[in-house]
């Protein structure tokens, strides 16, 4: 697997610095993940040399079971998708407007 060049790493570090500034100015609660924070987290991992690692997520409701991540980010999900999610899990998206939601899936 190709590694980033020194010049490419410098570009990534500058992008992360921009995200650091944006995140610092956001008023969201620390536990609320958003696209800025997710991107910053992944950029940190790439800069630290972890870009080739496989990503898993842990579901605490399944007694620490982990799952591979095969998803992409959809920053503009269709209204019908959001309505379906709201119907399937009342309360999950109730406090968010459609424009505030991105779907990883």
Nearest residue to 47 via CA among 12, 15, 18: 12
pLDDT at 77 over 90: yes
Looking at the chain, the whole-number percentage of residues with pLDDT higher than 90 is 30
Per-residue pLDDT at 29: 59
Average pLDDT of the chain, as a whole number = 85
Structural domain that includes position 91: 54-105
Backbone dihedral angles phi then psi of residue 57, each to the nearest 5 degrees: -130, 150
Q: Does pTM surpass 0.75?
A: no
Token duo for residue 60:
């605490």
When pLDDT is cut at 50, 70 and 90, the band that residue 64 belongs to is: low
When pLDDT is cut at 50, 70 and 90, the band that residue 28 belongs to is: low
Do 37 and 21 share a structural domain?
yes
Do 14 and 46 share a structural domain?
yes
Given 36, 53, 70, the domain boundary residue is 53
């Amino acid at each position: 697997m190709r590694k980033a060049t020194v010049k490419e790493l410098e570009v990534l570090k500058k992008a992360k610095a921009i995200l650091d500034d944006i995140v610092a100015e956001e008023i969201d609660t620390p536990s609320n993940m958003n696209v800025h924070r997710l991107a910053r987290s992944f950029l940190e991992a790439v800069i630290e040399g972890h870009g080739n690692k496989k990503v898993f997520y842990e579901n605490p409701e399944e007694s620490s079971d982990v799952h591979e991540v095969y998803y992409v980010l959809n920053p503009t999900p269709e209204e019908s998708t959001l309505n379906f999610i709201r119907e399937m899990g009342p309360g999950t998206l109730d406090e968010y407007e459609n424009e505030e939601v991105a779907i990883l899936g």
